[in-house]
Structure 1
C-alpha cells in the first residue's frame, strides 16, 4: 500500500486538506485551524486533485477525473456513489436521494451518510438539500454549501479569504 500524502490547498472558501497517494484520493475536507499552505507531496493523484480543484474554483471544471477511495460502510458507499450522479449545477433533495437508493424511509440514514462523506466537493454532498429547499447541514459549514451551490449555478462570489 502506498504511503498517504497530505496537501493543504487554499481555496476561496478556506483551507482544504487532501489525503491520498500515487493512485487514489482518500479524503478531502475543510480544516478550520490556521494551517499553513502545504504542498510538498509529489503523489500524482494528489497533485492531479489540486490541479482539478484549481480548475473547479476558477470555473473551468464541472466534473472531476480522479480515482477515489473513500472509507465507509457498504451503505455509505452506495449513498456516495449516488451523490456522484447529481449533475454539476443541480440540486437534489434528501428525499429524492432516498428514493433513488430504493427506500424512502432511509432518509435519515442517507442524510447521515452524506454527513460522513470523506471526499467533499468531488463527491458532491453539497448538492443535497431539504425537500423545502433549505440548505440543511453541511460538514464544511452551511455558508460553504451556499457558496458552492452559487458557484455551480454561475452566480459570482468574491473570495472570503
Structure 2
C-alpha cells in the first residue's frame, strides 16, 4: 500500500513542504499548510503516515540547498503525479540544466523532444509537482525571467536564481 509522509523545512521563502512516498519525493510546496497536504493526499488517493525518518533526507537536502551548501539533490523521486508528457519535459529539465544555469522555454521545448511548443512549456513548468528539486525556476523567457507559480511568484524565482549565482544579488539580498 502506498502512503505519504510530510516534512517541512523553514527557508527564506517560507516553510517548504516535502511529501515523500516509499519511492521518493512526490511533491514539494512552497507553503506547508493543511491545504497543501490535502492536495497531495487527494491527488495520490493515499493515507498520510507520521514517519519523520522517511522525510529526513528530503528535509536535510532542502535545508542544505537553501543554506547555499548543496548544489545537486540526490533524493530519489517519485514521478507518479506527472503525465507522460510532463515527465518527458520535466525529466529533460532535471537531467540537463544544472545548478546555476538556465534554459529558455523554447530551448527546453526543443531539447525535450516532446513536440510541445515553447508557449506550452510554461504551463508544464507551472504544474510541476516537485519544484526546486525538479528546477522549473531555471527555465526563463528569451527576453527575461518569465513567470513562476511557486512561492511569491517571480520574486521567488529571482531569489532561487540569485542563490544559485545565476543572477547577481541586490543590496538587500540575504541568504
TM-score scaled by length of structure 2: 0.78
Deviation, 1:43, is 3.6
Q: Is the 8 A contact 1:95 1:104 kept in 2?
A: no
The answer to whether 1:125 aligns with 2:136 is yes
Deviation, 1:77, is 0.3
Alignment partners' CA distance in 2, 1:25 and 1:101: 22
Question: After TM superposition, where is structure 1 displaced by more than 4 Å over at least 4 residues in a row?
Answer: 32-35
Alignment partners' CA distance in 2, 1:94 and 1:26: 24
The answer to whether 1:144 aligns with 2:160 is no
Tell me the residue number matched to 1:73: 83
Alignment of 1:5-154 (within 5 A): 5-31=5-31, 41-44=51-54, 46-70=55-79, 71-84=81-94, 85-102=96-113, 106-132=117-143, 134-140=144-150, 141-153=153-165
TM-score scaled by length of structure 1: 0.85
Aligned-pair Cα RMSD in Å: 2.3
How many pairs align?
A: 153
Q: Is the 8 A contact 2:16 2:29 kept in 1?
A: yes
Alignment partners' CA distance in 2, 1:74 and 1:104: 13
Runs of 5+ unmatched residues, structure 1: none
Deviation, 1:95, is 0.7
Q: Secondary structure at the match of 1:153?
A: coil
Alignment partners' CA distance in 1, 2:89 and 2:12: 27
Provide, for residues 67-114 of structure 1, a one-character-per-residue CA deviation record: whole Å limited to 9, x for no partner.
111311100001110111201101111011111123676112222111
